Amino acid sequence: MAGHSKWATTKHKKAAIDAKRGKLFARLIKNIEVAARTGGGDPAGNPTLYDAIQKAKRNSVPADNIDRAVKRGSGEDAGGADWETIMYEGYGPGGVAILIECLTDNRNRAASDVRVAVTRNGGSMASPGSVSYLFSRRGVVEVPKTDGLTEDDLLLAVLDAGAEEVEDEGEVFVIESEPTDVVAVRTALVDAGYEYDSAEVQWVPATEVEADLELAEKLMKLIDALEDVDDVQNVFANFDASDEVMAQLNGED
């Protein structure tokens, strides 16, 4: 799951991701291959590849795996798949809007697996455009909280780089910008001496539905099922849950 809601960075989701580390590795490797194919194998001249590599490193993907992915994507080594990005749209329980971003070498398999995951977990597929208008493409940089670090500190560091707002999302600060400014924002952070967890372009909802415990449980079940699909790279949804609801979810793990 990706997004800038509080619940997206909770221990509940971290535990779920850690339990599926093999699947997470595969997704990160795919991203590196695609970035190297589209922009070349030199991270210094390919910001998308640079960020994909940094994200893989932060998630403990072995360096050899990263190097091989770059070489496959750039054509230096044989064996790279012909990856295709496909976006599916749907509704979850409670009418929550969902965008499902896939990276696949088999369009038919991806469509079938996504449909099964959605319909078996209380959701329904939607026609193209019927959900995506509720989201916009945004540059999103997540910065881990450290003692003494404030929103004003970060805003001062990245404002001139195109950052539009800094939000406190519980465990992290989230910096939003136009998609074209995400690299500049990330660079400004590094130049100012700040660490960041991720820097990427995401689908961010314009408004969010507040979910109670019952709805949040249903939505998490659906999102977990989608994240189990090998071809799914990201899931974006327009709901949020209070700290109290997330604490109850965490307590049930």
Please give the share of the chain, as a percent, with pLDDT higher than 70. Answer: 89
| SS3 state at 59 | coil
Instruction: Scan for tokens 């990245």, then name that residue.
Output: 158
pLDDT at 6 over 70: no
User: Is the pTM above the cut of 0.95?
Assistant: no
- Going by pLDDT thresholds of 50, 70 and 90, the confidence category of residue 53 is very high
- Going by pLDDT thresholds of 50, 70 and 90, the confidence category of residue 7 is very low
Mean pLDDT of 65-70: 93
d(CA 176, CA 83): 28
d(CA 114, CA 88): 8
- Which residues on adjacent β-strands are paired with residue 237? 98
Express each pLDDT in 114-129 by its tens digit. Answer: 999 999 999 999 999 9
